[in-house]
């Protein structure tokens, strides 16, 4: 419904056409600070009505100009709520948005488009080169009303843990949240081997979100498998599914996926319910998981797996987005939990060696 700029630049939407259900889109324009990656990733944008003149002091250009700049087609005048009901009944389906094709040719193009099942889009969106995240260079900044100077969105804590973050389609706000939780982060390509990661001697490993079918990423499953038991691991979204595969589990395609910022998730350990931001089209098959993996969270709409934790190893993951850009902040505590897990694991290792 909202956060269209974050949606457009979310790498997890690679290969997909996105429909926004809010009646008018583009009201607050586009600005560099709210992007979740360096460029848009969706194939096309479907909306009800376009706001051509944005009204927001942070806007640097209208939405239509931004899409045109990146050659992303858009279509307005669509009853997107009727479309949503249609997709909820029949499931997500292939589609075509075109300014050139006639009706029959557009339908044929949609039918010929590849299915999301079996697709590896991760290699298209992962960073080609490793880099150290510099929060200060990509942080939300606000003007100081008295001096006119810009200041950081929030004070940053000292760096406590140096970690490796696998980029399978990483969102910038995940990196912001990790830095705000005291992590020094080096981002690496999706094909980085476990041997290369261990050679860097990090305190932990983060597995990011990303697009496509997790079952098609066998080369990643194997590298994660080699890291299990050697470092604390935290995964989000695709990272959750990849961990399940690394432990021998499987995933399946959902009828229409979980999208948006109002997904209710129950923590089975405490009974608490959080409203979460989600964007995924596949889910972990609970019956495929080994007994050493505990299902910690479930989606209250359909009962699917939303969180995993190993009963012995320092490994856990969630299917939703605790960094929520946009969305509720109910689940931001997971970044602190990851820090505490690394701290306790380091302490236990030192005691064992002593």
Q: To 5 degrees, how large is the angle CA 162–CA 163–CA 169? A: 145
| CB-side neighbour CA atoms (13 Å) of 168 | 26
| Coil, strand or helix at 334 | helix
The answer to whether residue 245 is catalytic is: no
Contacts of residue 232, Cβ cutoff 8 Å, sequence gap at least 6: 203, 204, 205, 314, 315, 338, 341, 342, 345
Residues in Cβ contact with 13 at an 8 Å cutoff, skipping those fewer than 6 apart: 7, 41, 42, 211, 279
Measured between alpha carbons, how far is 224 from 230 in angstroms, rounded to an integer? 10
Q: Active site residue: 161, 223, 237, 310, which one?
A: 237
Q: Which of 6, 223, 306, 323 is catalytic?
A: 323
| Nearest partner of 191 among 105, 127, 287, judged by Cα | 127
Cα gap 19→76, rounded to integer Å: 10
Rounded Cα–Cα distance for residues 259 and 301 (Å):
12
| 51 catalytic residue (yes or no) | no
**DSSP 3-state assignment of 22?**
coil
SS3 181: coil
Query: Which residues does residue 310 pair with via DSSP β-bridges, in sequence order?
Result: 293
Distinct helix (H) and strand (E) counts, the chain? 10, 17
> Do the Cβ atoms of 321 and 278 come closer than 8 Å?
yes
Catalytic residue numbers, as ranges:
237, 321, 323
């Amino acid at each position: 419904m909202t956060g269209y700029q974050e949606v457009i630049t979310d790498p997890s939407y690679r290969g997909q056409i996105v429909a926004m259900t809010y009646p008018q889109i583009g009201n607050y324009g586009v600005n560099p600070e709210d992007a979740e990656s360096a460029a848009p990733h969706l194939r096309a944008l479907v909306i009800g009505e376009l706001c051509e003149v944005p009204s927001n002091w942070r806007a640097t250009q209208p939405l239509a100009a931004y899409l045109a700049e990146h050659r992303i087609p858009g279509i307005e005048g669509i009853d997107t709520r009727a479309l949503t009901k249609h997709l909820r009944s029949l499931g997500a389906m292939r589609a075509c948005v075109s300014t050139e094709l006639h009706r029959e040719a557009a339908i044929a193009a949609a039918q010929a488009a590849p299915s999301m099942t079996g697709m590896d889009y991760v290699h298209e969106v992962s960073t080609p080169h490793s880099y150290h995240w510099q929060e200060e260079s990509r942080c939300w900044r606000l003007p100081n009303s008295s001096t006119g100077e810009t200041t950081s969105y929030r004070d940053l804590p000292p760096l406590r843990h140096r970690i490796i973050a696998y980029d399978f389609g990483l969102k910038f706000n995940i990196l912001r949240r990790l830095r705000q939780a005291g992590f020094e982060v080096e981002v690496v390509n999706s094909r980085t081997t476990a041997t290369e990661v261990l050679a860097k001697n990090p305190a932990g490993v983060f597995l990011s979100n990303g697009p496509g079918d997790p079952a098609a990423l066998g080369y990643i499953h194997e590298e994660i498998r080699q890291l299990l038991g050697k470092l604390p691991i935290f995964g989000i979204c695709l990272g959750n599914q990849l961990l399940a595969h690394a432990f021998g589990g499987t995933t399946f395609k959902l009828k229409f996926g979980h999208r948006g910022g109002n997904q209710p998730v129950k923590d089975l350990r405490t009974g608490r319910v959080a409203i979460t931001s989600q964007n995924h089209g596949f889910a972990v098959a609970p019956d495929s998981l080994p007994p050493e993996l505990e299902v910690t969270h479930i989606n209250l709409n359909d009962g699917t797996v939303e969180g995993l934790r190993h009963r012995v190893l320092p490994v856990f993951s969630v299917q939703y987005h605790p960094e929520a850009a946009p969305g509720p902040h109910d689940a931001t505590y997971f970044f602190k939990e990851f820090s505490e897990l690394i701290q306790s694991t380091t302490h236990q290792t030192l005691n064992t060696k002593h």
